[in-house]
Structure 1
Amino acid sequence: MNKFEYIMNRIAHRHGVYSVFSDFLDLLIYAFSHGNKEKEYLGIITKYEKPDAYSLSEALAALVIEMTGDDGNGMIDVLGEYFQSHLSHGANGQFFTPVHVCDLMAQMTNPNGISERIFDPACGSGRMLMSAAKVNRFAKFYGADIDTNCAKMTTINLFLNNLTGEVACMNTLSNEFFQAWTIEPTINGVPRIREITKHESYIYANSKLKIKNSAPVIPQIEMPVQNFKTEPTQQLLFTF
């Protein structure tokens, strides 16, 4: 058990794991909003007694250290691993793609690192975007997920790895929009998280355009029925 997991579980014994994890994500997003969400931040942190409030700050420190890694390159999905182990348990089909598979896919789809924009329409905790950042961290990263906690995890993962872009909590099939955040640089070079409306969202605007200009329905063509020879499954293993 790593330190982040230990601290979160210690607080969860008193407040419940789902409540603590959800509050932790909100607190980080509000804290990294450069004072624009102070009222919302205080509304959450005042629910916790001093020892637990201090433990939440310890959890942030542990998170940053662990997601940085021994090599200092970052891109380690600590939040996603905790979420899968303690909250989702595979509910709603939430099994995140293994990191090494994400790395392989990123290298195959963008081998030269020249893509300027990377989009994952079902981003989970953002590990596919972080794998893409290992190829080109100067691209703009866009992620969307229907699960609120997933969208928030991706936002925090991008921010703490100093990546810029946008994350939306939305249904990318129906284009139903709930929330979105941009991770953007400021004049002094320190990034910030800013909550945006759907009218400011690059993801929503482009998804809406794609739905509006969807491909025409292609009429079905009846094909003649063919009789295929069936063979035992074991035999097929030797015919390839």
Structure 2
Amino acid sequence: MASPQLDVDGIVETLEQIHQRGHSAHTVFRDWVKLMLFALQNRDDPYLEIVDNYRDRGDMDHPHGQRSVDLFSKAFGQLQERMAVTSADILGAVYEEYGMSSDAFGQHFTPHTVCKTMAEIAGVVNESNDTEDRQTVLDPTCGSGRMLLVAGRKQPEALFVGQDKDPLCARMTALNCCFLNLDAYVIQGDSLTVEFQGAWQTSYSSLGGSVRELDGEEVEELHEWVTDAFENTVEGDNQRSPDQGTDTGMEDRTPPVGMSVPSEQASLGAFDSSD
């Protein structure tokens, strides 16, 4: 069940109204996530393609504000309101709660309290601490991005990298990183085989976060950067003596798409079986 401290009943009730009109719960949730991503990227064509699936005569007979497209928008607003109050993984909590009525969901994410402990064990410093180098926080099985959000509240200036082979989870993480206004790369693909099927970049700004889907060439550049950084990190760890510190060997490796250079990696991968 969803985290008990997070009130998501209003959002679930809004999505349930759409579900009751003959759409599966999983389809409703998946389309809602896609609509939010497309809206934030100003991608009208794929947005309207999804909306068309909910424009049968019976649906359009509902008064303005009660059509399915209006309910999707209402749920988006409710999500933003709850995120603003809590800075927590409301989206993942909705997934867990709403998915209880469907066998198509089937995932429960790491509790927020456990994520907090994991971030502390991984060495994510508080934003008040003085560090010379930018941290990189990596979660190779990110689920809805909950661990990245917890780390982001502790160190919002870090670079975050999340990966999950489930396309819905990857999209949820991209939305969450955007909502929390984090610099992040979110990858859809298997972290064990280092396969990338797609990726999103979220960027910080004083006006709020932004998100965009990377094109094929940019995904390949990101793949090369991640692979190179990982191989050099492993090589550095194998060659380092116990008293040589925690340098990851990433100082001179610039990420693609113009983000600044990370030099300290706080990996959350030791807990990857939790999602």
- TM-score (normalizing by structure 2): 0.67
Contact 2:124–2:155 (CA under 8 A) maintained in structure 1: no
Deviations 1:54-91 (A, max 9, x none): 1111001111112222xxxx421121112223338798
CA RMSD of aligned residues (A): 2.7
1:214: how far off? 7.1
Within the alignment, does 1:86 sit opposite 2:94 as a pair? no
Aligned partner of residue 173 in structure 1, secondary structure? coil
Alpha carbons of 1:68 and 1:189: their partners in 2 closer, same or farther (altered >3 Å)? closer
**Corresponding residue number in structure 2 for 1:13:** 20
1:137: how far off? 1.0
Corresponding residue to 2:146 among 89, 103, 127: 127
1:108: how far off? 3.0
Alpha carbons of 1:46 and 1:119: their partners in 2 closer, same or farther (altered >3 Å)? same
Within the alignment, does 1:95 sit opposite 2:108 as a pair? yes
Name the CA distance, whole Å, in 1 between partners of 2:50 and 2:72: 12
Name the CA distance, whole Å, in 2 between partners of 1:10 and 1:90: 19
Gaps of 5+ in 2: 1-7, 61-66, 236-275
Alpha carbons of 1:212 and 1:119: their partners in 2 closer, same or farther (altered >3 Å)? closer
Within the alignment, does 1:106 sit opposite 2:119 as a pair? yes
**Corresponding residue number in structure 2 for 1:30:** 38
Name the CA distance, whole Å, in 2 between partners of 1:178 and 1:142: 15
1:28: how far off? 0.8
Deviations 1:88-140 (A, max 9, x none): 87989733111001011212323533552111000000000011012111111
1:42: how far off? 1.0
Aligned partner of residue 94 in structure 1, secondary structure? coil
**Corresponding residue number in structure 2 for 1:235:** none
Contact 1:5–1:82 (CA under 8 A) maintained in structure 2: yes
Name the CA distance, whole Å, in 2 between partners of 1:208 and 1:178: 15
1:178: how far off? 1.0
Contact 1:199–1:205 (CA under 8 A) maintained in structure 2: no
**Corresponding residue number in structure 1 for 2:155:** 136
**Corresponding residue number in structure 1 for 2:53:** 47
Gaps of 5+ in 1: 216-240
**Corresponding residue number in structure 1 for 2:84:** 68
Amino acid at match of 1:157: N
Name the CA distance, whole Å, in 2 between partners of 1:91 and 1:52: 21
Aligned residues: 208
Structure number with greater Rg is 1
Identity of aligned pairs, percent?
29
